[in-house]
Amino acid sequence: MQHNLFTTMRSLKIMEGCKGTQVYALNPSNPPPPGVGDKLLHHLQDHLRANSIRSKSNRNYPPPNMTVPNVVVVSESLLRCGLPGTDLLEPQIEPCLKSVDFVEALADVHRRIESCDQFEKSRLYLEQCAMFRGLADLKLFRRSLRSARQHAVDVHNKVVIAAWLRYERREDELIGYSTMDCYGRNVECPKASLVSGYDPESVYDSCDCYRGRREDVENDGVLIEGEEECSTSEEDCDLSFCIGDDEIRCIRYKMALLSRPFGAMLYGEFKESRREKINFSQNGISADAMRAAEIFSRTKRLSWFNVHIVLELLSLANRFCCEEMKHACDVHLASLVSDMEDAMLLIEYGLEENAYLLVAACLQVFLRELPSSIHNPNVMRFFCSSEACEKLATVGHASFVLYYFLSQIAMEEDMKSNITVMLLERLQECAVEVWEKQLAFHQLGVVMIERKEYKDAQCWFEAAAEVGHIYSLVGVARAKYKRGHKYSAYKQMNSLISDYTPVGWMYQERAMYCVGKEKMTDLKTATELDPTLTYPYKYRAVALAEEKKIGAAISEINKIIGFKVTPDCLELRAWFAIAQEDYDGALRDVRALLTLEPNYMMFHGKMHGDHLVELLRPHVLQWSQADCWMHLYDRWSSVDDIGSLSVVHHMLANDPGKSLLRFRQSLLLLRLNCQKAAMRSLRLARNHSSTEHERLVYEGWILYDTGHREEALAKAEESISIQRSFEAFFLKAYALADSSLDPKSSIYVIQLLEEALRCPSDGLRKGQALNNLGSVYVDCDKLDLAADCYTSALNIKHTRAHQGLARVYHLKNQRKAAYDEMTKLVEKAQNNASAYEKRSEYCDRDMAKSDLSMATQLDPLRTYPYRYRAAVLMDDHKEADAISELTRAITFKPDLQLLHLRAAFHESMGDYVSTIQDCEAALCLDPNHSETLELYNKAKERVNEH
């Protein structure tokens, strides 16, 4: 590539600024609410100024009489920002498709995927992606996105979806990776994306990049070398094109084969057909370009020519309808696009000359540079304006999937920006299918609400509702409320609850427009129907704080934090901790919050979280790095994941380049189901790796966690080949154990874990390895060896090993010992729902019901308690109650096992239609679930019989 040709590019400009979620919308004109706010401010002033920290040690603290300069800053910041109040709380309107009956929607899309033409599957999988976007499990979204890429037919969709898959791993944050890097599979390979055609079976094969091939692929696949091929024998030439003083000798019939117009000119009724010399000077074609056309007419190759000549040939091919030469130019130019500078210049030529592949290659660079390219005005010009969109459409590159991808990233970057609005406007212009219109209209409404453009928001929400998106009526009500029509908003939600089967978000929204007992009743109903909604907990907690019941407020917010950790809830608890003079607790929550979202802005978006950490640090007991490790062991052994996150954040402040700590952070975040934050920590661990073998391990975990198991294994093996390490062996064992193990594979996994344990590591990781080794021994029926592993793990404070040891006792028919072992875990891991759940397996029915009730209270997202209670009800012939128990959970957690069990219950009751629907919804979540497939086929046979 002649890069000196591309000198017209402007440099990439990255917007600066912090990104963070604001918990409370601030109205500066309103004074802080009375009550707890005044008390809190007085506490801060009195206690922070006096520096009265009650602790056993005063080391690293300023003398008692010394003035602490940060105190005034803290007080002034809080005075300026105000305090959390119930009047400032609002539930979020989710910017995704949301169905009143999610199970029916899942079943419907599964049916259509199974019955559609193979070339339509990609579009339907994209619809499935949109449905999964609002769920907590990101793996479902990524799996559907991979399926959409697998079944893509045209280059455009391949380019967009492959770039989206790459974005999901956020490779832009990996040091040393460039835009066009390929990890080795066709599914994301930039070169493979530029090859049209439907080939779903090869999409996960190793690509040419991975195999190290650099093949020069031409139309006929023949490689012709040698300068003699570029020259033409005078004996063969029977025609000359004259351009100025240059004469280009040609073979007439070869030139005539370039296109019908050339054929007509050289062999038709035109006078040129009888001439040996044709004047071509007035056609705007240079002699070099014409000479290149002559060479192409014989060789069908372009590799000898520089980019200027090929661009001229492209123009010539368009003017004279030389389709073969145009395609060759298109392919050749597309292969030259390698970076942003190339893409910015060549896309103009591609649009002008209607070069489909060239534009696709340029788009691919823009998309694989995301999110940075979204801040480049030159790039956004191609996507945001209607005129540019029309040009892209002319070339076949303006599509819903393109603008869906772009608009999602724009919303993540800045919900309120003009770029976000313009991209969503293009999205709705590209929307054709009903679901596409629903999504585009709804998201425009969400953005307009954020921008406080309430009239426009109401119009977009109403448009979404008119095409069938019922959830958008929440947006209609909110926009009316913001415009001062509170009673109209209340009627809107009242009507919605009356017309449809009520779900939690309906009552949550109606509570916005109620007061007093009616409001609290609606919030209670919302929590009963959907305990995962955060707003009701937050509202009740703040209401209690306003009544100066800080302890009760903390208890209320703890209910949601116990099973769903979000930055806004952690911030709220930090507020309450400060009000209670619990600065250690406040610092813990702020550190954990910043782990989830490093750029979070506290106190109504007025103070960066890092600044609050600095303000609070002098007023708590200071820890050395050795102290931190001790506290981390304590938190880890008591299964206090938030406390562990806080300690790791503290340790990273002292040693930000410690990749092992970043990795530890990612493990904790995964346990808390904070998948995006976990991936960010993994990327940072990889970037801070000091050795090649360590870097490979973290790259392997990134691949494993994004669904690329084979690639993860390859990384682990490569790491081991460089240096044997605990983490490399552990990764390999973990990835292999992920599939169903036969006896031979189990032995190999055991060997890998034993090798890992022989390598140096800290006790926390060795405890995990011992626990995993015990599990494999149990599966192999080697119970004594398993017990030894669990006991060794407990000796190094891996508390979760109590669960494995209890399982061993149970399998040895020592039920009482199993129960006692789980009781130890319950006592050590306070409020740990899984401990209660597992203990229930080792006691009588009444005690099991009690433990499972506690498990559901602590974590309503755990599905086993619902399944157990439903099974008990079925045994007692209470079929309707059993179905109701499962339906209650499915409403807010559409889980595979819950759907399968309800389908089985329906089948036992002879309700085959309901069985089929539940099976279809379950198969939408996992198309390969064998038990559901068997039940599904059986139910369909019964329906056909009738």
- With respect to residue 847, please indicate whether it lies within any of the assigned structural domains: no
Percentages helix, strand, coil for the chain (3-state, rounded to 5) are 70, 0, 30
Instruction: Determine the pLDDT at residue 212.
Output: 54
- Rounded CA-CA distance 376/366 in Å is 10
Mean pLDDT value of segment 817-837:
91
**CA angle, residues 589, 592, 593, in degrees to nearest 5:** 85
Instruction: Determine the pLDDT at residue 48.
Output: 39
Helices of type H across 655-706: 659-671, 675-687, 692-705
Instruction: Please tell me the least confidently modeled range out of 176-185, 492-501, 804-813.
Output: 176-185
- Rounded CA-CA distance 909/284 in Å is 79
> Other C-beta atoms within 10 Å of 238: how many?
11
Q: What's phi and psi for 597, nearest 5 deg? A: -145, 95
391-436: pLDDT as tens digits: 899 999 989 999 999 999 999 999 999 999 999 999 999 999 999 9
- With respect to residue 244, please indicate whether it lies within any of the assigned structural domains: yes
With contact defined as beta carbons under 8 Å apart, do 62 and 51 qualify? yes
Percent of the chain past pLDDT 90, that is, above it, reads 63
For 288, the token pair is: 């070099």
**Whether pLDDT at 932 is above 60:** yes
221-261: pLDDT as tens digits: 333 344 444 555 556 778 888 888 888 888 888 888 888 88
Instruction: Please tell me the least confidently modeled range out of 169-173, 513-517, 808-812, 924-928.
Output: 169-173
Instruction: Determine the pLDDT at residue 114.
Output: 94
Instruction: Please tell me the least confidently modeled range out of 104-108, 318-322, 750-754.
Output: 318-322
Please write down the long-range contacts of 292-295, taking CB distance under 8 Å and 24 or more positions apart: 293/255, 293/258, 293/322, 293/325, 294/232, 294/241, 294/248, 294/249, 294/250, 294/251, 294/254, 294/255, 295/229, 295/230
Instruction: Please tell me the least confidently modeled range out of 176-180, 283-287, 620-624, 922-926.
Output: 176-180
Model confidence band, residue 19 (pLDDT cutoffs 50, 70, 90): very low
- Rounded CA-CA distance 534/525 in Å is 13
Q: For tokens 């010009």, what's the residue?
A: 381
Instruction: Please tell me the least confidently modeled range out of 269-278, 382-391, 399-408.
Output: 269-278
For 555, the token pair is: 């208890």
Model confidence band, residue 210 (pLDDT cutoffs 50, 70, 90): low
Strand intervals (E) in 457-518: none
Residue 23, helix vs strand vs coil: coil
Look at 171 and 244; give whichever has higher pLDDT: 244
Class of residue 562 by CB neighbours under 10 A (exposed 0-12, middle 13-18, buried 19+): middle
- Rounded CA-CA distance 923/925 in Å is 5
Q: For tokens 């930000």, what's the residue?
A: 656
Look at 19 and 806; give whichever has higher pLDDT: 806
Contacts of 575 (CB under 8 A, 6+ apart): 40, 83, 84, 545, 586
Instruction: Determine the pLDDT at residue 220.
Output: 39
**Whether pLDDT at 468 is above 50:** yes
Model confidence band, residue 34 (pLDDT cutoffs 50, 70, 90): very low
**Whether pLDDT at 506 is above 60:** yes
Q: Which H helix or E strand runs over 277?
A: strand 277-279
Segments forming the whole domain that contains residue 270: 239-336
47-71: pLDDT as tens digits: 334 333 333 333 333 333 333 334 4
**Whether pLDDT at 802 is above 70:** yes
Instruction: Determine the pLDDT at residue 338.
Output: 87
Mean of pLDDT over the chain: 86
- With respect to residue 276, please indicate whether it lies within any of the assigned structural domains: yes
Q: What's phi and psi for 240, nearest 5 deg? A: -130, 135
**Whether pLDDT at 623 is above 70:** yes
- With respect to residue 305, please indicate whether it lies within any of the assigned structural domains: yes
- With respect to residue 278, please indicate whether it lies within any of the assigned structural domains: yes
**Whether pLDDT at 274 is above 80:** no
CATH code at 251?
3.30.710.10
Instruction: Please tell me the least confidently modeled range out of 77-81, 277-281, 314-318, 510-514.
Output: 77-81
Write down the pTM of the prediction. 0.86
599-611: pLDDT as tens digits: 999 887 888 899 8
Instruction: Determine the pLDDT at residue 207.
Output: 80
With contact defined as beta carbons under 8 Å apart, do 302 and 329 qualify? yes
Model confidence band, residue 475 (pLDDT cutoffs 50, 70, 90): very high
- With respect to residue 261, please indicate whether it lies within any of the assigned structural domains: yes
Instruction: Report the domain count for the chain.
Output: 1
With contact defined as beta carbons under 8 Å apart, do 737 and 761 qualify? no
Instruction: Determine the pLDDT at residue 263.
Output: 83
Look at 280 and 433; give whichever has higher pLDDT: 433
- Rounded CA-CA distance 427/746 in Å is 50
Look at 638 and 125; give whichever has higher pLDDT: 125
Contacts of 146 (CB under 8 A, 6+ apart): 165, 187, 707
Look at 245 and 496; give whichever has higher pLDDT: 496
- With respect to residue 792, please indicate whether it lies within any of the assigned structural domains: no
Q: Concatenated DSSP letters for 760-824?
A: ---HHHHHHHHHHHHHHHHHTT-HHHHHHHHHHHHHTT-TTHHHHHHHHHHHTT-HHHHHHHHHH
Q: Choose the most confident range, by mean pLDDT, from 385-389, 403-407, 626-630, 758-762.
A: 403-407
Look at 945 and 558; give whichever has higher pLDDT: 558
Instruction: Determine the pLDDT at residue 840.
Output: 95
- Rounded CA-CA distance 726/766 in Å is 9
For 888, the token pair is: 């209650």
864-909: pLDDT as tens digits: 999 999 999 999 999 999 999 999 999 999 999 999 999 999 999 9
> Other C-beta atoms within 10 Å of 528: how many?
13
Instruction: Determine the pLDDT at residue 944.
Output: 85
Model confidence band, residue 681 (pLDDT cutoffs 50, 70, 90): very high
- With respect to residue 650, please indicate whether it lies within any of the assigned structural domains: no
Q: How far is CA 629 from CA 50, 669, 795, 921, in A?
A: 30, 18, 17, 46
